[in-house]
Structure 1
Amino acid sequence: MDLILAIDLKDGQVVHGKGGHRQTYRPLDWAFSDTAEPGGFLKAYRPKYIYIADLDRIEGTGDNTDLIFACAHSVELCYADRGLTSPEEALNTAGIVDIIGTETAAATLADFTSGFVSLDIKDGHVIPSGEDPTTFLKKLNTTAIDGCIILNITSVGTGAGVDADEAARMRAAYDGTLIYGGGVARRDDLFALADAGYDGAIVATAVHSGEIPLEWVREGKIC
């Protein structure tokens, strides 16, 4: 199972937040990096895989695409959520996986034929439709997308841990490549996701706090 380091970009800086309350996110200049500048941050962490959320572009207040390109050159693979609203906005670039978030592209999901769909979940429901995640995942089985990310926005940065039963239920609903993110708090969460058959896990806070070894992120897998 791949381990992917999450990086949130806001105003050109790497920020750290909790529970999806983006107005409270602050520069991440602690833990293993003394700078929130993306290049310096990546030099300190040296991850193999990254997931970048361009919070400015998702919220329609800015665009960090140039920084995403620069970050992608430092890693083996970069998953990028840039708040896409249509296939024409995708980067379609080697080394970058375009993320199609339900938060911004719910009305045009059927138009995408590549990339990973992100099930953006708040309080147990896919936003903005309010659907049950497993119902949504079953419908994705008939599409041409490359894979899916379950993003539990409510649990981001909270250390809440993973509900292993719910995670297994969602894994069983989708036949393709599936990655889990949001609330992964400890090694046991990673083992539970691996046992359930997930292809990857997105981690951040648990790495910054030392609950998950930095070396695992550098290797891109559980060591």
Structure 2
Amino acid sequence: MTADTSLIPVMDLLGGQVVRGVRGDRQAYRPIESALCRSSDPATVAQVLCTHCAATRLYVADLDALMGGPAQFGVLHTLLEAVPGIELWLDAGFADAAAAAALMTRLGNMSAPHVVPVYGSESLRSREAMAQAFDRSDELGARAALSLDRRDGRPLDPAGCWEAPELWPQRVIVMTLERVGTGAGPDLETLRSVRQRAPAATVIGAGGIRGPEDLAPARQAGADAWLVASALHDLQLPPAARAAS
């Protein structure tokens, strides 16, 4: 979107609708009210967000699955059809590689290659599961991403992901949940720390972007990209074509 840092639009799915994420308090999420697209229909929102950002990647958090329910397979299929060619980064509460592989099998041979499984540190069950999830000799493991999740300064991390940078994959997300949807500004200190520990990784920030003024500092802190939702829906970030002009 700009020369400063690229944006990856985000959708939180709950009960078949796009909802607005605030501080990671999933029980309190409500259907999105958006000045950008005026709809909570997943396919509509996906098309508008990807067009607005000229995005080739779309991050989806399946909140039904993250809260222990079944993944929203029908919605995921619809999204892949609505935005053909998109790389869909999917966090569906994967506890291990087997869980991700099972979901890919259900999505089918045509859809699965377009999906990047995102393993959240809050969801991975063990250090062993983490190592298996990012086994680069496995096709699925080679394209997987890790989300290092934290809230209020504390890692959400039963498997000890934060303390095992030797096991981190090529793509690492720094997810500061208390800043999601709050307009509090990005957590650049934590992002710098992760960048220092993984200098060769692709590091993606998440949470807190308020507008264009935050993008250059994010890049300077080491972000290759940033996950964004609220600033897009609130029209705080211009369309890609205008931002590039």
Specify the TM-score bucket, using the shorter chain as the normaliser.
0.7 to 0.9
Structure 1 pair 17/98, CA: closer, same or farther in 2 (3 Å)?
Answer: same
CA distance in structure 2 between the partners assigned to 1:189 and 1:52 by the alignment: 22
- Matches for 1:182-221 after TM superposition, within 5 Å: 182-213=207-238, 215-216=239-240
CA distance in structure 2 between the partners assigned to 1:42 and 1:130 by the alignment? 32
* Preserved CA contact (<8 Å) 2:187 2:208: no
Q: 2:131 aligns with which of 93, 101, 110?
A: 110
Unpaired runs of 5+ residues, structure 2, are: 106-111, 136-140
Q: CA deviation at 1:118?
A: 0.6
Matched residue type, 1:76: I
TM-score by length of 1: 0.86
Q: How big is the shift at 1:202? A: 0.4
The residue number in structure 2 matching 1:72 is 80
In the alignment, the residues of structure 2 paired with residue 23 and residue 52 of structure 1 have an alpha-carbon distance, to the nearest angstrom, of: 17
TM value normalised by structure 2: 0.79
Report the CA distance shift for 1:169/1:122 in structure 2 as closer, same or farther (over 3 A). Answer: same
Residues 182 and 202 in structure 1, CA contact (< 8 A), matched pair in contact too: yes
Distance in 2 between the 1:109 and 1:44 partners? Answer: 34
Aligned: 1:126 with 2:149: no
Q: Deviations over 1:169-209 (max 9, x none)?
A: 32212131111001112222211111223221001111111
Q: How does 1:15-94 map to 2 (within 5 A)?
A: 15-45=19-49, 46=51, 47=53, 48=55, 49-73=57-81, 74=83, 76-90=86-100, 91=104, 93-94=112-113
Identity across aligned pairs (percent)? 27
Give the unaligned 5+ runs of structure 1. none
Q: Cα offset for 1:129?
A: 4.1
C-alpha spacing 1:189/1:130, structure 2 compared with 1 (3 Å): farther
Answer yes or no: is the 8 Å Cα contact 2:148–2:174 preserved in 1.
Answer: yes
Q: CA RMSD in A?
A: 2.2
Question: Which amino acid counterpart does residue 220 of structure 2 have in structure 1?
Answer: D
| Total equivalences in the alignment | 213
